[in-house]
Structure formats: C-alpha cells, structure tokens
Amino acid sequence: MPMPAFKRILLKLSGEALMGDQTYGIDTKMLIQVAEEIKSVKALGVEIAVVIGGGNIFRGLAASAKGMDRVSADQMGMLATVINSLALQDALEKAGLFTRVLSAIKMEQIAEPFIRRRAIRHLEKGRIVIFAGGTGNPYFTTDTAASLRAIEVEADVILKGTRVDGVYDSDPETNKEAFKFDSISYLEVVKKGLNVMDATAVTLCMENKLPIIVFNLKTTGNLKRIILGENVGSRVQ
C-alpha cells in the first residue's frame, strides 16, 4: 500500500460544491462522488475530518446585506451546514464508512455536541468526523471554523475542495488570463485579497503553521493524489 503524505487531514467543502450542476440545494450524484473520493483516501489509513459550508442552502452574509439581522442570518447559515453535514453522513455510511457528526450548536437528537477530546478519539478509532454548525458563533465563516477545528484536532493540513484547480490572482471562470499560483504564502494571500479563505482563517493557519491546499473537487481522484504527495492544486504555506 502506498504511504500517505498526511496522517490526519481536514477536508473543507463549500456548500456550493454539493450543488453539482444545480443552482440550489444538494445534488445526490455529487454527494456520492464526494463520498467515493473520501472512501478512497480512507482506504489508505488516513484520519479524516470534514467541514462543510451552507451556501447552497442559505448564506448569512448575503441575507444580512439585504437587511436581515446579521446574528439571525448567521445562525440560519450555521443550521444550513448541519443539513449538509447530515446529507454527507448519509452518503458516507451508504458507502460503508463509519461517521460521526459533531455540532457546535447543541442538538443531541441528531448530532453529538463538539468536544475536542471526543472528536480526536473518533478520528483515532477510524471514524470520519463531520464538524457542523460552524464555530457556533455569528460573524465567523465556515472557513474560520475549518481552520479552528483543524488546529484543535491537530490535523496535518487543510484540503479545500473548490470548483477551480487552485489559487488564482483573479476568477479563472471569468478571466481566461488569470494566473495560477502553485505555491503562495499566507501573507501574500491576505495582502492580495485572494479568494482562498477569509483573513481570519488564513491568519489562524499562519500562526499555527498549518498548510492549506486548494484543489478542484470535481476532478475524480484529485483528493487521493494529494494524499499520495502529488503536486495538485495550489499550496498556501
């Protein structure tokens, strides 16, 4: 069996990634594809944690910009991440994997409360841990939640699955001349205002020397190639 480059990872997925070719909600085909990608990596013995955004269902910041109370909007966005987490849990368990959903917002009927030591114990036992509910606090994005959880469970890297194949100086979907960075520093990301993660999330990673790899989630096998040490996507370090 090939040796993985990382022992424990945190996979950050945007809510939009679960839409597939739809404009809203969850595409079952995309869920199955993500589950299979995770399964292929799990087979290598890697410990996997996941954080999913909620933008495919509700985006708090956008609602706030339209006049909704920011705290209420962010709380609704956090609940959207719980819906996505349960959907991914179902897909993973149908693929034969063992999972746990840990929520920052207490809702014991459907998810365990987030407790750091419990999360680490689940990972050590080979379960895939899905962190739901963001940080449990308004004004923080799921990017920040991903950075925080990755640091708390001592992950080796954050793998951010997106619709593009790395970090660019502008949107490659609208600008064909966009330049791709194979490697870039945390400070450059913040200074250039690049759309990798928000400044709080990037700063957290920088202070804790936690690398971020941005890659195209839709390309089959990309996740496994990263785990095996191939140069896929862009690396922020």
pLDDT band at 61 (very low <50, low <70, confident <90, very high): confident
Could you read off the pLDDT of 164-209 as tens digits, one per residue? 899 999 888 888 899 999 999 999 999 999 988 999 999 999 999 9
b/e per residue, 198-213, with b = 16+ CB within 10 A?
beebbbbbbeeebbbb
Domains and CATH numbers, the chain: 8-236 (3.40.1160.10)
Mean pLDDT across 27-42: 95
Percentage above 70 pLDDT, the chain: 100
Q: Considering the entire predicted model, what is its pTM?
A: 0.94
pLDDT band at 62 (very low <50, low <70, confident <90, very high): confident
pLDDT at 1 over 80: no
CA quadruple 30, 90, 62, 104: dihedral sign: negative
What is the chain's Cα-based Rg?
17
What pLDDT shows up at residue 23?
A: 86
Could you read off the pLDDT of 77-118 as tens digits, one per residue? 999 999 999 999 999 999 999 999 999 999 999 999 999 999
pLDDT band at 65 (very low <50, low <70, confident <90, very high): confident
Could you read off the pLDDT of 124-152 as tens digits, one per residue? 999 999 999 999 999 999 999 999 999 99
pLDDT at 163 over 90: no
DSSP H or E run through 215: strand 212-216
Query: Chain-wide mean pLDDT for the chain?
Result: 94
Q: How many CB atoms lie within 10 A of CB 141?
A: 19
Distance (Å, rounded) from C-alpha 122 to C-alpha 138? 27
